[in-house]
Amino acid sequence: MAPDQLDQDSLPPYDILDAILEGYVERDKSVADLVAEGFEEAMVRKVIRLVDINEYKRRQAAVGPRITARNFGKDRRYPITSGFGRKNW
């Protein structure tokens, strides 16, 4: 990040971001499901896009402890090529 840059300059407030991420990552909810829960569609699509386009970074990271019901490793495997996920953006 740049000096004086904050996460919330480009992301929704953490309480909203956490709820969207939990729905998408932990509970396999779709854009439509999250929008039906009351989240703004453009925001949901942006967050999902950021998760999907950064999938390759999770493959490069060292193995870490599991701290949730699902992790990004063996529990959530998505292709990092072929445009997977673009239907959600």
- The pLDDT of residue 76: 64
- Binning the chain into helix, strand and coil, the percentages to the nearest 5 are 50, 0, 50
**Per-residue pLDDT, 88:** 63
pLDDT at 56: 73
Residue 55 lies in a domain: yes
The answer to whether the beta carbons of residues 16 and 60 sit under 8 Å apart is no
Domain for residue 27, yes or no? Answer: yes
> What is the total count of domains within the chain?
1
Q: Which domain holds residue 40?
A: 11-59+67-88
Neighbours of 85 (CB within 10 A): 16
The verdict on residue 76 lying in a domain is yes
Report yes or no on 34 lying in a domain.
yes
Please give the pLDDT value at position 7: 74
Q: Are 8 and 14 in contact (CB under 8 A)?
A: yes
Whole-number Å distance between alpha carbons of 59 and 76 = 11
| 2 assigned to some structural domain | no
Cβ–Cβ < 8 Å for 85, 44: no
Q: Each residue's pLDDT tens digit in the chain (89 positions)?
A: 678 877 777 899 999 999 999 999 889 999 999 999 999 999 999 999 999 888 777 667 676 666 676 665 556 666 656 565 666 66
Would 43 be classed as within a structural domain?
Answer: yes
Is 37 strand, coil or helix?
coil
